[in-house]
């Protein structure tokens, strides 16, 4: 399977996003909340998932520029969809999770972590005009997302959002009374 085929099988249509891919890796470009490029997530599907943040051997590797203070650069993925709707913003952990919501016409950002504490100040501003909805996995790490959102939708089975089909995602959202 080519990388393009793999990305499409994971709900990523490359023309829709800022990314670059070759036959082994995909680099998803990360932006701060004012739209400046600040880093990337490298995805290597054939690599070992247990190698955490290793640029040559890990499945996922994140690189984010650092500002003058540790943690001062707020990187997210999915800002291309911010204008889809003005009443809600979904926050999820990973890129493939966010892409599944994009396919439903929903604005979603991947915080690239279970706890989006690095973007909480921005979320306080967004909350003035939008409802912040988190979609979390059914595990201890997924429960951290609840502290940063207005509404948390917790997945009940062993599948995470990124592993669901588009129909399963649509059914999950409808079951949770999310208007598409």
Q: Could you report the per-residue pLDDT of 47-93, keeping only the tens digit for each? A: 987 877 788 889 999 998 875 455 556 889 999 898 888 899 999 99
CATH 3.40.1360.10 in the chain, residue ranges: 79-175
Q: Is 31 left (phi over 0), alpha (psi -120 to 50) or beta?
A: beta
pTM comes to 0.91
Tokens of 53: 């943040």
CATH number of 79-175: 3.40.1360.10
For a pLDDT cut of 70, what percent of the chain falls above it?
A: 96
What is the per-residue pLDDT across 13-26, written as a single tens digit (0 to 9) for each? 999 999 999 999 99
88-92 β-sheet, strand order = 108-110, 88-92, 131-136, 151-154
Residues 85 and 88: their CA atoms lie apart, in Å, by 6
């Amino acid at each position: 399977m080519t990388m393009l085929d793999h990305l499409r099988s994971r709900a990523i249509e490359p023309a829709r996003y800022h990314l670059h891919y070759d036959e082994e890796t995909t680099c998803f470009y990360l932006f701060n909340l004012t739209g400046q490029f600040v880093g990337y997530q490298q995805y290597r599907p054939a690599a070992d998932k247990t190698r955490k943040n290793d640029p040559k051997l890990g499945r996922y590797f994140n690189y984010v520029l650092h500002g003058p203070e540790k943690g001062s650069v707020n990187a997210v993925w999915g800002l291309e969809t911010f204008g889809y709707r003005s009443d809600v913003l979904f926050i999820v952990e990973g890129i493939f999770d966010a892409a599944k919501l994009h396919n439903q016409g929903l604005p979603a950002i991947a915080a690239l972590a279970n706890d989006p504490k690095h973007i909480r100040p921005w979320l306080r501003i967004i909350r003035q005009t939008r409802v912040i909805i988190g979609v979390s996995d059914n595990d201890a790490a997924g429960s951290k997302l609840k502290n940063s959102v207005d509404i948390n939708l917790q997945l009940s089975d062993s599948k995470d959002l990124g592993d669901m089909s588009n129909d399963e995602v649509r059914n999950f959202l409808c079951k949770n009374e999310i208007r598409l």
